[in-house]
């Protein structure tokens, strides 16, 4: 058997959401199924670290597909010819796209359909591509995986063709996210926050991530509480936002906000593990991985009460209306002022994190991949 893999998001030093998902699932498949051949299709030169075993055949196909026109060329022309050349009999695509012309049995992963709910936040050409092709992809896929019960129900509600073939399998998080010893927490707080307790936002800075309301809520919280706690923001600016920059410049408590930028992967478990709480009030998530990473690190979280986030937060955090600055601020107050509540949330983190596992996800996806009718 020759299994075709869409490996476009395995990018050295640039792994983010779909890239990490691909890494965690594919590494396990390759190592745990040495009898199978995996053909990894890249759209640019690949890093050797992503050839996870001798049963991986890496293949580079042009053109580099980072624009809808190039998506079409890569998926509808480059891939079908390559499937024939390498004798592939099934296809796993973790980025929501497949090849319509190839007619190959496909397990398609759709992490979310945020573009459907927030079309104005998606570039015009990408939005038109999704609107035209996504119904066709969903109809053509033999099986569709997603990453939360919310996302499954959302896909089913929007696309009737997904009925009867869509399932969800929760993400896991990297094993490096573990509770830190007290001395290590103290050292990290000293390095990043001059020894102060801090809230942490972790993720890209994009309108859908709701950063402006988070800053407004933090400002309100600081004014009401007189707490010395800081807000650290760790993530790259994925969107030019003049309104956000303007608000930062005029904040009364600007000195309590630290912009860390994009941190190396090895730093993230430390910065998260030393946080007082994670603040993640995104307007929409198919999963919300930082919320799980916080639980694994023993850190309570404040998440949004919408989309998939209540599933991930569970009993290990609080929820707020992401559209209400007042509610977000009030929940920050509860985290800081109600010690018994905070301790109960912290005590629940290990149990909540135990519900999520990359190994379990890899096994569930493998079972569905093997069940495809060839």
120 plus 201 within the same structural domain: no
Statement to judge: residues 162 and 187 lie in one domain: no
Largest CA distance in the chain: 66
Average predicted confidence (pLDDT) for the chain: 96
What pLDDT score was predicted for residue 244? 85
Mean pLDDT value across residues 272-295: 97
- The more confident residue out of 261 and 239 is 261
Q: pLDDT tens, 27-82? A: 999 999 999 999 999 999 999 999 999 999 999 999 999 899 999 999 999 999 99
**238: pLDDT strictly greater than 70:** no
**What average pLDDT does range 163-180 have in this prediction?**
97
Per-residue confidence band for 264, with pLDDT thresholds at 50, 70 and 90: confident
At residue 206 the predicted structure's pLDDT band, cuts being 50, 70 and 90, is: confident
Question: Are 260 and 142 in the same domain?
Answer: no
Q: Both 223 and 349 in a single domain? A: yes
Spell out the residues 6+ positions from residue 300 whose beta carbon is closer than 8 angstroms to its own.
277, 278, 294, 316, 317, 318, 335, 342, 345, 346, 349
pLDDT at 333 over 90: yes
Strands of the 90-93 sheet, one edge to the other: 56-60, 37-42, 2-6, 90-93, 106-109, 143-146, 166-168
Instruction: From residue 58, give the alpha-carbon distance in Å to each of 9, 42, 66, 349, 366.
Output: 14, 7, 19, 39, 20
We report the CATH number of the domain holding residue 256 as 3.40.50.2000
**How many structural domains is the chain composed of?**
2
Q: Within this chain, do residues 165 and 136 fall inside the same structural domain, yes or no?
A: yes
The span from the CA of 55 to the CA of 31, in Å, is 9
Domain with 16 in it: 2-172+357-370
pLDDT above 70 covers what percent of the chain?
99
Does 248 lie in the same domain as 283?
Answer: yes
Domain shared by 152 and 229, yes or no: no
Angle at 96 between CA 92 and CA 98, to 5 degrees: 60
pLDDT digits (tens, 9 = 90+) for 78-98: 999 999 999 999 999 999 999
Q: Mean of the pLDDT values across residues 298-317?
A: 98
Question: Where on the phi/psi map is residue 264: left (φ > 0), alpha (ψ -120 to 50), or beta?
Answer: beta
Record the pTM: 0.92
Q: In this structure, is residue 364 part of a structural domain?
A: yes
46 CB contacts (<8 Å, ≥6 apart)?
A: 7, 10, 40, 58, 60
138-to-103, 114, 119 alpha-carbon distances in Å:
13, 16, 19
| Band (204; pLDDT cuts 50, 70, 90) | confident
Same-domain status, 128 and 189: no
Residues 216 and 364 in one domain: no
Does the residue 50 lie in any domain? Answer: yes
Residue 196 domain-assigned (yes or no): yes
Identify the pLDDT of residue 7. 98
Neighbours of 346 (CB within 10 A): 18
Could you tell me the CA-to-CA distances from 260 to 245, 290, 298, 299, 310 in Å, in that order?
A: 15, 16, 22, 19, 27
């Amino acid at each position: 058997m020759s299994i075709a893999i869409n490996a476009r998001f395995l990018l050295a030093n640039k792994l983010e959401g779909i890239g990490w998902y691909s890494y965690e699932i594919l590494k396990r498949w390759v190592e745990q199924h040495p009898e199978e051949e995996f053909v990894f299709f890249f759209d640019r030169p690949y890093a050797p670290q992503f050839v996870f075993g001798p049963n991986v055949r890496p293949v580079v196909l042009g053109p580099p597909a980072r624009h809808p026109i190039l998506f079409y060329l890569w998926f509808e022309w480059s891939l079908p010819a390559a499937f024939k050349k390498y004798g592939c009999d099934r296809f796993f695509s973790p980025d929501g796209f497949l090849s319509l012309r190839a007619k190959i049995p496909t397990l398609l992963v759709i992490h979310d359909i945020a573009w459907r709910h927030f079309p104005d936040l998606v570039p015009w050409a990408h939005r038109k591509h999704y609107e035209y092709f996504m119904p066709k992809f969903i109809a053509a896929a033999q099986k569709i995986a997603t990453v939360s019960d919310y996302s499954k129900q959302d896909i089913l509600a929007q696309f009737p063709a997904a009925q009867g073939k869509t399932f969800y399998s929760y993400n896991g998080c990297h094993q490096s996210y573990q509770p830190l010893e007290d001395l290590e927490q103290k050292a990290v707080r000293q390095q990043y926050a001059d020894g102060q307790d801090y809230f942490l936002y972790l993720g890209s800075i994009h309108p859908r991530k709701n950063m402006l309301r988070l800053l407004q809520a933090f400002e309100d919280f600081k004014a009401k509480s007189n707490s010395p706690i800081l807000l650290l923001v760790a993530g790259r600016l994925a969107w030019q936002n003049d309104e956000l920059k303007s608000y930062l410049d005029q904040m009364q408590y600007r000195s309590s906000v630290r912009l860390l930028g994009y941190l190396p992967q090895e730093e993230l478990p430390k910065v998260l593990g030393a946080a007082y709480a994670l603040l993640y009030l995104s307007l929409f998530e198919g999963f919300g991985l930082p919320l799980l990473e916080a639980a694994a690190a023993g850190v309570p979280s404040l998440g949004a009460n919408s989309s998939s986030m209540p599933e991930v937060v569970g009993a290990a955090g609080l929820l707020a209306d992401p559209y209400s600055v007042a509610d977000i601020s009030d929940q920050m107050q509860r985290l800081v002022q109600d010690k018994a509540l905070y301790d109960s949330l912290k005590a629940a983190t290990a149990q909540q994190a135990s519900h999520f596992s990359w190994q379990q996800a890899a096994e569930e996806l493998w079972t569905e991949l093997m069940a495809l009718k060839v």
